[in-house]
């Protein structure tokens, strides 16, 4: 049995990942084809335009999904958190580059094996469809945010999203997964604007920061108001 199969019962995201839809026999069959993979910050799992060779569940860490323009510029189009699915089943090529924002651990499956498991399990197919639609909803929300919100509202929105996904309670500290430059790229702002908005939120006592990544929401209601 693979390392993945041995550790399924102890997997931190077992109840939230796509494989939660599998019964024990189907899970054992899928896990026999999988393996754990660890990525350091900056390492990529797949590259846009290259063969879509693997699918994966993110167990720990965070990853960014980036697309490239015709002239080679990159744009962050999404963030993956623990229990999220990355990969593109039933497609020959990957449409985005998937890169670790922090030391990350994934449960990785060859795309063909995952496609067979998906085809044989209607519950997992439905769960993948639901997750896909949720991702589409998030992309639409992000488009609305970029089109209509001010710079301050965009930064506050992103901080709320990061805190929610980190399951940080009001006042508890968490690490931002993004650098100031990555925040600016995701929000369509400059680094200077992001830094200025963070300084304003800190001066108002809404957030507290520690170092480059440490963050605490001191007044969640005020931050929600700032996010519009």
| Domain range annotation of the chain | 3-134, 149-226
Whether residue 113 is predicted with pLDDT greater than 70 in this model: the reply is yes
- Cα–Cα dist 145/154, whole Å: 7
Question: Could you say which of 1.10.10.10, 3.30.565.10, 3.40.50.300, 3.40.50.620 is the CATH number of the domain covering 149-226?
Answer: 1.10.10.10
Which residues are paired to 100 by β-bridges?
A: 63
Cα 84 to chain centroid distance, Å, stands at 6
pLDDT, greater one: 8 or 214? 214
Helix, strand, coil percentages for the chain (3-state, nearest 5): 45, 25, 35
Note the pTM of the prediction, 2 decimals: 0.77
User: Phi and psi at residue 191, in whole multiples of 5°?
Assistant: -60, -40
Compute the half-sphere exposure of residue 25: CA atoms within 13 Å on the CB side of its CA: 2
What is the CATH number that goes with domain 3-134?
Answer: 2.60.120.10
Query: For residue 211, which of 193, 198, 200, 220 has the smallest C-alpha distance?
Result: 198
pLDDT averaged over every residue in the chain: 85
- Cα–Cα dist 205/217, whole Å: 9
**pLDDT at 68 (0 to 100):** 82
**pLDDT at 214 (0 to 100):** 87
Q: What is the pLDDT of residues 88-112, one digit of tens each?
A: 999 999 989 999 988 999 999 999 9
Query: Which pLDDT band, with edges at 50, 70 and 90, does 3 fall under?
Result: very low
């Amino acid at each position: 049995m693979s390392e993945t199969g041995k550790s399924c019962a102890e997997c931190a995201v077992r109840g939230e990942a796509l494989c939660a839809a599998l019964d024990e026999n189907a899970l054992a069959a899928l896990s026999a084809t999988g393996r754990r993979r660890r990525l350091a910050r900056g390492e990529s799992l797949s590259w846009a335009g290259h063969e879509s060779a693997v699918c994966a569940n993110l167990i720990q860490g965070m990853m960014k999904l980036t697309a490239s323009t015709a002239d080679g510029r990159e744009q962050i189009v999404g963030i993956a958190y623990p229990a999220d699915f990355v990969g593109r089943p039933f497609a020959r090529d990957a449409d985005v580059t998937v890169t670790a924002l922090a030391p990350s651990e994934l449960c990785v499956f060859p795309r063909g094996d995952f496609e067979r498991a998906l085809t044989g399990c209607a519950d997992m197919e439905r769960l993948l469809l639901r997750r896909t639609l949720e991702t589409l909803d998030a992309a639409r929300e992000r488009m609305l945010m970029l089109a209509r919100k001010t710079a301050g509202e965009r930064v506050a929105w992103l901080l709320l999203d990061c805190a929610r996904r980190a399951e940080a309670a009001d006042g508890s500290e968490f690490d931002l997964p993004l650098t100031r430059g990555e925040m600016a790229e995701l929000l369509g702002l400059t680094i200077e604007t992001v830094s200025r908005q963070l300084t304003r939120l800190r001066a108002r006592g809404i957030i507290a920061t520690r170092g480059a990544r440490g963050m605490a929401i001191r007044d969640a209601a005020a931050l929600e108001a700032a996010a519009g």
